[in-house]
Chains A and B, each alone.
Chain A
Amino acid sequence: MGRTLFDKIWDSHVIHTIEDGPQVVYIDRHFIHEVTSPQAFAGLKKRGIGVFNTSKTIATADHNVPTKDQHLPIKDALSKHQVDTLIKNCEEFDVELYGLGHPYQGIVHVIGPELGITQPGMTIVCGDSHTSTHGAFGNIAFGIGTSEVEQVLATQCVLQRKPKTMKIQVDGALRKGVVSKDIILYVISQISTSGGTGYFVEFCGSAIESLSMEARMTICNMSIEMGARGGMIAPDEITFNYIKGRQFAPQGSVWDEKLTFWKTLKTDEGAVFDKEYYFDAAAIEPMITYGTNPGMGIGISEKVPADSDTVNATLKKALNYMDLEGGRQLLGKKIDYVFIGSCTNSRIEDLRMVADLVKGKQKADHVNAMIIPGSKQVEKQAVDEGIDKVLAAAGFELRQPGCSACLGMNEDKVPTGMYCVSTSNRNFEGRQGPGARTMLASPLTAAAAALTGYVTDVREMLN
């Protein structure tokens, strides 16, 4: 019987299996950031031990950094302390840090791939659930808690039970105005926020294969939002071309060796998954969420489910929080903020997509439109390509890299009661600030809303 790509990579990293228990899994790359690492380093200190292999851990500051005036000291005392603690820990434990001011700094899931650190066939972890993003390169990448960060620092391993496998196949051509964010919002709306719990997902099918690496990352990024441990896509020529020549990509004969290995990374014909789903790309519309979890999404022309459809306390609470009425479309709903950023959609391709749409146009007066590049490199590229000017002319504010209003830890927040069309990945209550009302959508749909000031069907703007 054939084996899945997941099984191949996982099994080749298992060092030990505890009977009726978890397995010791070796980790090839470990990313850390300021929020979920301080307690892990404190644990090492308490035990009097060091980092097992410093060459496998890379640090950056992203969650808690300002997105303006990054050259100045951080104003918020607690944030500053946390970022300073990361700097100190990295010095003390000899971990490479791409901190504020470094040309490689950025959101951890943006910089790993763009620096060529993220490669096929690896196991990758980070104390952040969206580590699943890296799976777009055909590796096993998943989020861990801080106790596990400490374990990886101390031993380069985690203790995990092997998840089940799920295949999600999306075939066919995407319709106009529909992008990878819509695919994943659609899939989550179909299988729910817990539909993937206990599984590791492989995305495949012609619609997935035709996507760029940036677009694939958006899909794997949000696999965690259906509860999955992670998502992966088998590597192909698009993957190899993306990696080639990047700062930490293999070079010379090592490249050739790796490439030969990477080309073997596929699910075998006839391999059996524990669960399989099939979707038709042509059935997907631009998507938007109406509620307070990422599974509460609808096609842009559809109606918000009515209370009576499901007499469900959770839906009622969500609609109440969002101040929306069931049974109505979201189209035409007035919005206040647009946030384009986060590890889901802050890559150069996302910024290009937005710039193409808004070029020569103006955002609506009442809308506050922020764009946060995912990294210093994305920011630089945007400037090199003149995207910064296009955005500024359209009234969009391009800020500096970080997680920003994706989680509202720094000062970038959406005020209470305001509606924000956001390209991030979570619309939980208060996620973008206490009382903030988030509608998740693609960069195209978000940009369209910024231009009109209302929830808009972007297809009407494309010719």
Chain B
Amino acid sequence: MEKFQKLISTVVPLPLQDVDTDQIIPARFLKATTREGFGDNLFRDWRYDPEGKPNADFVLNQENVQGDILVAGKNFGCGSSREHAAWAIYDYGFKVVVSSFFADIFKNNALNNGLLPVQVSDAFLAKIFFIIQGNPSAQLEIDLENELITLQTTGESESFEINAYKRYCLQQGYDDIDFLISKKLEIQEFENATTI
């Protein structure tokens, strides 16, 4: 996993609620057996029409909106547990997703892939959308060490929460599996002692 410390970037706004993982990456693109390449089909059915032509209204197709931060409405990543959703977002080039609420499994999947989910208040989210609407080149700063998200144009900031363990993993580029493997002896003892 890549290390994450601090990021300053323009943002891509997606002001819709309940964006589910079937929209992020539709099931018919889940047939791959590797983790790479899912970014090409990120938001496939919103991004392209049935003939495969880019849909000019969709934000990923708008030249003037680009950035490493995706900002989306409440309850982002609900539905299917497919980790392919986190892979697709990361593979496309996003490093951070900001929303006022994340679905549980998506959040875990994102964190396991070095994609940082930043949960902000509804009010702060509305502010970001408002600012971006007026100024698509406005930037956000994400400071992981201090758990702070800042709107660069206005200087307004809000703190976000991430547990210390996960923060450490992101900063070090350390995976959960490394930690679990280090606990194998304890796990073996536990297994030997239980009956189920």
Contact = CB atoms under 8 A, between A and B. Distances in A.
Nearest to A407: B27
B81 A129 contact: yes
A121 B195 CA distance: 11
Given A143-B105, A434-B50, A194 B187 contact: no
A151 B105 contact: no
B143 to A, nearest CB: 19
Contacts of A128: 80-81
A313 B15 contact: yes
Interface in A55-111: 63-64, 76, 78-79, 81-82, 85
Interface string B168-181: 00000001110111
A19 B166 CA distance: 11
Given A193-B75, A229-B104, A409 B30 contact: yes
B113 A82 contact: no
A109 to B, nearest CB: 12
Interface in B49-98: 50, 73-75, 78-84, 86
Contacts of B78: 193-194, 227, 293
A211 B132 CA distance: 51
Interface residues of A, number: 73
Across the A-B interface, give the 5 residue pairs with the lowest CB-CB distance, nearest first.
A21-B165, A145-B83, A38-B33, A145-B109, A78-B31
Contacts of A381: none
Given A53-B191, A76-B31, A313-B15, 10 more contacts: A39-B34, A63-B30, A128-B80, A157-B187, A194-B78, A227-B75, A313-B16, A409-B28, A416-B50, A428-B20
A85 B33 contact: yes
A345 interface: no
B187 A19 contact: no
Interface string A8-30: 00000001101111101010100
Interface in B101-155: 101, 103-105, 108-109, 112-113
A39 B75 CA distance: 27
A447 B62 CA distance: 45
A156 B26 CA distance: 30
B45 A430 contact: yes
B183 A15 contact: yes
11 contacts: A15-B187, A19-B164, A21-B164, A24-B183, A49-B181, A155-B183, A159-B180, A194-B101, A229-B105, A428-B20, A428-B22
B35 A39 contact: yes
Contacts of A428: 20, 22-23, 79
Nearest to B18: A293
A229 B108 CA distance: 12
B15 A121 contact: no
Contact of B112 (A15, A53, A63, A145): A145
Contacts of A198: 104
A127 interface: yes
Contacts of B26: 430, 434
A76 B29 CA distance: 13
B183 A147 contact: no
Contact of B181 (A127, A144, A154): A154
A81 B31 contact: yes
A171 interface: no
Contacts of B84: 146
A128 B28 CA distance: 16
Residue of B78, B101, B179 with most partner-chain A CB within 10 A: B78
Given A161-B163, A409-B28, A129 B83 contact: no
Given A161-B163, A227-B78, A317-B16, A430 B187 contact: no
Nearest to A77: B31
B50 A314 contact: no
A457 interface: no
Contacts of A145: 81-83, 86, 105, 108-109, 112
